[in-house]
Chains A and B, each alone.
Chain A
Amino acid sequence: MFQKILIANRGEIALRIQRACRELGIPSVAVHSTADADAMHVRLADESVCIGPPPAKDSYLNIPAILSAALVTGAEAIHPGYGFLAENPRFAEMVEAHGLTFIGPSPAHIRMMGDKIAAKEAMAKLGVPLVPGSNGAVLDIARARDVATQIGYPVVIKASAGGGGRGMKVAQTAASLEEAFGIARTEARAAFGNDAVYMEKYLDHPRHIELQVMADGHGKVVHFGERDCSLQRRHQKLLEEAGSPALSAGARDKLGATATAALTKLGYRNAGTLEFLYQDGQFAFIEMNTRLQVEHPVTEMVCGIDLVREQIRIAAGAELDYTQRQISFSGHAIECRITAEDPTTFVPTPGRVTAFHAPGGLGVRIDSALYAGYFVPPYYDSLVAKLIVHAPTRADAISRLRRALDEFAIVGIQTTIPLHQRIVEDPEFQRGEYTIHWLERFVAAN
C-alpha cells in the first residue's frame, strides 16, 4: 500500500480524498494555491505544499509544480480528484514517468475517452448502444447533410474534443444545418484547438442516466448502479439521484451487464462512469468519464461502499474482493450541489462565510470544505457544498432532503439552497417526472 499520497485538487473533493487516505492510515500531502492557504483540507493536512498563485493555470493545472511537490515530499501516488488534471492523459503519463502511481485509469484509456469520436467507436465495437449518428468525424457540409437525412432532424453537431455539454450546436431543420455546422466547427477550434466534429440525432426528451463502474485491472469489472443526473442547467448538474426514478432494477441490471462486459474486453482499470441518454425505454451512450465524479456520494450511500478507498486500493494493486452479485442496492439517495451563487440570477458570490451550520441526523451527509470564517475565493468553480440524503424510499429521501435543506445555514454568501428548496416542492420533481430540459424550464418559470 502507498506510504504517502499527494492530492492534486482542492475544496470538498480534496477533503474527501484526504478522509479516505486517513481511514486507510496513509499520510497525504495537500497542495494549494496561495488563495487556498486557509482551506480546510490544508488545515487538516499531514503535510501541505504551496504550489503557486491563485490562478488555476499557475497552481492546480501547473504540472511541474505538482510533480515537484510530489518529489520533494516523497509521495508515491497522486489522486487527481475531478476536474483540473483528472482527465489529462499527459499528466497521467508524466506521473508514471516519474515513478509515481496515478490513481485512476491508464493514460491510454483517458486519452481514448477524451476523444469523443474514438470513445463512441470503441463502445460501438464493444456492443454498447449509441445515439444514432455519424459514426466518425463529419468533415464537410455535404457529409453533414447526408448524415442528417439518414438519421433525421433535429440533429446535434458536437466537438470531438469537447464533452461535459460543451461544444454542441443543434440544427432543428435542414435550413439551419449549414450555419450550425459552421459555427460548431469555429467554436470547437477556438475552445479546444481542434475543429473535428461529429453528429448525433438530437433527443428532445431524454433523461441523463449514468452508470458507475469499477475495474480492478486484474480482469474483474463491477458496476455500482445508475445515477439520474437529468436536472441540469447549462449542462451543469444540480441535483442527482441514485437510483433513477425511471429505471427498474431489471433495466439497471441489463445496462450494467452490457457496460461491464464492454469494459472487461477493453481492459479498463479503476473508476469510470458511462453516460447515457435514456428516451422511450432506449439507452444511448454519449460519453465516458475516466475519473471519480462529483456525484459519487449518492452511489456510496445506496451501495454502502467507499469509492475513493476502492480507487486507492486498486491503484495499489489490490483486487476487488467482491463480485457483482454481492453488491446490493439499498434505499434511495439524493444529492444537491450547493454553489456560491445567487439562487435566481446565478451570479457567483465569493466572500466570507460568517456563520455555518450543517444539517445532521439519520441519513444526512455533507461533503463540504466550508467553515465559519472561511473566505470563498473567486478563482475557482462555485461548488461549496454537497448535501446528500439517504432513506429507504424516494419519498422518504425527499422528506429528509426538505428537512435538511431547511436546517442548512450558510451566512455571508449567497447559495443555491433556496433553489433546491423550491425544486423539492415541485410536484413533477416529486413524481420523478423530469428530463434534461426540465430544470431550465423550471428556472425560467420561477
Chain B
Amino acid sequence: MTRIPFDPDAIRALAAVLNETGLTEIEIAEKDSRIRVVRGGASPALAAVAAPALAPPVVISPGPSPEEDTPPGAVLSPMVGVAYLAPEPGALPFITVGQSVTAGQTLLLIEAMKTFNQIKAPKSGTVTRIMVTNSTPVEYGEVLLILE
C-alpha cells in the first residue's frame, strides 16, 4: 500500500484559517501536492465528466401514439363526444377518486349525436385521477382517468 504523505499540522492550520475567515473552502497546491479543506456539511458533488454521449439513433416511429405520452393505467376515450360523469344531472357520479372498481364497471358516459355510450373499466383497480370534467368535449385517445 502506498503511503500518501500528508502534513496534519498543515491541515489543522488551514482549518483554523477557515474558521477565522469564515471561508468555506481552501485549497493549496504545490507541484504535485494538493491540500483541500472544506467546512463541514455536504460538499457539492463533483460532476462526473462523462464521455460525450453518442446521439441516440433517430428512431422512425409511426408517429406519436397515445401510449408513448400517457401514464400506465390511463383509460383513453374511444370516441369523440361529450363526457358525463353521472348517469343523469343531479345524480351521484359513477366514480370518485380513490374508489375501487371492477372490470366492466361503468366509469362514465360519452355522448355523441344524442347516443350515450357507457365507458367501462378495462380491468379492476383503483381510480387515482379523473382527468375530465362533467359535460366537456373529449376527443379520440384523450386520457379520461387513471386506473391503477
Q: Which residue of B lies closest to A94 (CB)?
A: B113
**How big is the A interface, by class?**
20 to 34
Contacting residues of chain A (331-355) with chain B, CB-CB under 8 angstroms: 351-352
Residues of B73-98 whose CB lies within 8 A of A: 79-82
A: residues with CB less than 8 A from B are: 34-38, 49-54, 59, 64-65, 67-69, 71-73, 98, 351-352, 375, 377-378
Question: 29 A-B residue contacts at CB 8 Å?
Answer: A34-B63, A34-B64, A34-B65, A34-B66, A34-B140, A35-B62, A36-B63, A38-B64, A50-B140, A50-B141, A50-B142, A51-B140, A53-B140, A53-B141, A54-B62, A64-B112, A64-B113, A68-B80, A68-B81, A72-B81, A73-B137, A98-B113, A351-B60, A352-B58, A352-B60, A375-B61, A375-B63, A377-B62, A377-B63
> Are B139's CB and A51's CB within 8 A?
yes
**In the complex, are the beta carbons of B63 and A65 less than 8 A apart?**
no
B112 pairs with A68, CB closer than 8 A: yes
Q: For chain B, what secondary structure do more than half of its interface residues adopt (helix, strand, loop), or is it mixed?
A: loop
CB of B113 within 8 A of CB of A375, answer: no
Q: Is chain A's interface secondary structure helix, strand, loop, or mixed overall?
A: mixed
User: Quick one: closest A residue to B137, CB to CB?
Assistant: A72
Residues of B within 8 A of A65 (CB): 79-80, 112, 140
Contact B63 A37 (CB under 8 A): yes
Q: Which residues on A sit within 8 Å (CB–CB) of B141? A: 34, 50, 53
Give B59's nearest chain A residue, CB to CB: A352
Range of interface residues on B (Cβ < 8 Å): 10 to 19
Question: Which of A38, A51, A351 touches B80 (beta carbons < 8 Å)?
Answer: A51
Give chain B's interface residues, CB within 8 Å of chain A.
Answer: 58, 60-66, 79-82, 112-113, 137, 139-142
Nearest first, the 6 A-B pairs at minimum CB distance are A72-B137, A68-B112, A50-B139, A68-B80, A50-B140, A49-B139
* A351 cross-chain contacts in B, Cβ below 8 A: 60
Complex: how many Å from CA A51 to CA B80? 6
The CA-CA distance from A50 to B63 in the complex, in Å, is 14
Residues of B within 8 A of A98 (CB): 113
Inter-chain contacts of B137 with A (CB < 8 A)? 49, 72-73
B80 touches A72 (CB 8 A): yes
In the complex, besides A53-B140, A377-B63, 9 extra interface pairs with C-beta distance below 8 angstroms are A50-B80, A50-B139, A64-B79, A68-B79, A69-B80, A72-B80, A73-B137, A377-B62, A378-B62
User: A121–B94 Cα gap in the complex (Å)?
Assistant: 58
Report chain B residues within 8 Å CB of A54: 62
Q: How far is the CB of A217 from chain B (nearest CB, A)?
A: 28
Which B residues lie within 8 Å of A49 (CB)? 80, 137, 139-140
Inter-chain CA distance A31–B72, complex, in Å, is 26
**When chains A and B are docked, how far (Å) is the Cα of A36 from the Cα of B66?**
12
Provide the bound-state CA to CA distance between A53 and B62, in Å. 12
Considering the complex, give the chain A residue whose CB is closest to the CB of B77. A50
B63 shortest CB reach to chain A, Å? 5
Residue in chain B with minimal CB distance to A36? B63
CA distance in complex: A214, B61 (Å): 43
Chain A residues within 8 Å of B64, by CB: 34, 37-38
Q: How far is the CA of A41 from the CA of B137 in the complex (A)?
A: 21
Kindly list chain B residues whose C-beta atoms are within 8 Å of the C-beta of A53. Answer: 140-141
- Distance A414 CA – B80 CA, assembled complex (angstroms): 35
Residue of B nearest to A98 (CB): B113
User: Which of B65, B79, B113, B140 is within 8 Å of A71, CB to CB?
Assistant: B113
Rounded to whole Å, the gap between the CB of A52 and the closest CB of chain B is 5
Chain B residues with Cβ under 8 A from A375's Cβ? 60-63
By a CB distance below 8 angstroms, the chain A residues around B112 are 64-65, 68
Q: How far is the CA of A95 from the CA of B79 in the complex (A)?
A: 18
Q: With the chains together, A35 CA to B58 CA distance in Å?
A: 18
Which residues on B sit within 8 Å (CB–CB) of A59?
A: 140
Chain B residues closer than 8 Å to A67, beta-carbon distance: 113
Nearest chain B CB to A42's CB is how many angstroms away?
Answer: 11
Report the bound CA distance from A54 to B80 in whole Å.
Answer: 15
Q: Whole-angstrom distance between the alpha carbons of A52 and B138 in the complex?
A: 12
